[in-house]
Structure 1
Amino acid sequence: MRSITHKISIPSIVKIEKGSFDLIGDILIDDNIERVIIIIDQNMHNILSERIDKQFKKIKIEFSFLIVDTNLSLRKLSKTAYNLDNKTQLLLGIGGGSIIDRTKYISYLRKIPWISIPTSPSNDGISSPLSSLYIDNKRVSVPAKMPYGIIIDTNIIMNSPYHMIMSGIGDSVSNITAVYDMELESKHTRNQKDDFSVIFSLQSISSLMGLPIMNVRSEKFIESLLTSLVMSGIAMEMSGTSKPSSGSEHLISHAIDQVLEINNYPHGIQVGLSTYIVSRVQENCSKEINMFFTKTGFWEYVEELKIKKSVIVEAIKLAPFIKENRYTILSNQEYIDKAIRILDEDEYLKRVLF
Structure 2
Amino acid sequence: MKTVYLTENPSLELMRLGAYPRPSAPSTLAIGELACRARGVRDIRPLLRVSSILPLLPLPYRIFVPAKADRRPSKLVNCQVIPPVRGGVDFIELDECCKGLSPEMTYILFCRAKPLALRAQLGLELCGTYATAPEHYPEMATQYDPEPLTNVSSITAALERFVREPDSIAARQALHYVQNKSASPMESALLLLLCLPPAEGEYGLPIPERNADLPIIAYLGQQHDEKTRYGDLVYREAQLVLEYQSLLYHDEPGSKHADEDRRDDIEAMGYTVMFITPERLQDFDCFEGIVQRIAHHLGLAPACVPLGLTPEKRSLRRLLLPASWNV
TM-score scaled by structure 1? 0.28
Q: Which has the higher helix share?
A: 1
Query: Which one has more relative contact order, counting CA pairs under 8 Å at least 6 apart?
Result: 1
